[in-house]
Amino acid sequence: MAKGHRSQIKRDRNENVKDTRPSAKLSYARVSVQKACFVLDAIRGKDVKTALGIVEYNPRYASTIIKKLLQSAIANAENNNGMNVDKLYIEECYANKGPTMKRIKARAQGRAYRIEKRMSHITIVLNER
């Protein structure tokens, strides 16, 4: 049997599999996963300069959110990991489903329609070429 408390054993085990790639995550973004994925699919695998250009001129609302997130990931790579900005590329970018706010819209004859305002958790992971 392993020695130590259960939490200490887990902590030791998880130290070995820690992901050191620079990343940035935005939780509870007020944009649906489907709409965020249109922009994320356009920048996946591209180098950072090209991705910033794509996001800058993309007319979708999600691109403004993703632009800030991408700039944050670049700053994390530069300051925390000491990576060269010219060699960075987007290795992973994805949007996961967040909670949904449920609202009611009044309709004719006393009825009420449900409006679902969806949220997402967006993650961008960078790496060096």
- Render 27-79 in DSSP notation, one character per residue: EEESS-HHHHHHHHHHHTT-BHHHHHHHHHT--SHHHHHHHHHHHHHHHHHHH
* Torsion over CA: 34, 38, 44, 47 (sign): negative
Bridge partners of 123, per DSSP, are 25, 94
How many CB atoms are closer than 10 A to CB 65? 19
Q: Output the average pLDDT for the chain.
A: 92
Residues 33-38: what's their mean pLDDT?
A: 95
pLDDT tens sequence across 56-100 = 999 999 999 999 999 999 999 999 888 899 999 999 999 999 999
Residues 39-48: what's their mean pLDDT?
A: 94
Comparing 2 with 41, which gets the higher pLDDT? 41
Domain range summary for the chain, segments of one domain joined by +: 22-128
Dist CA 108 CA 41 (whole Å): 40
Q: Residue 2 pLDDT more than 80? A: no
Dist CA 103 CA 115 (whole Å): 5
According to CATH, the superfamily of the domain at 22-128 is Ribosomal protein L22/L17 (3.90.470.10)
Q: In degrees, to the nearest 5, what angle opens at C-alpha 74 toward C-alphas 72 and 80? A: 90
Q: Residue 1 pLDDT more than 60? A: no
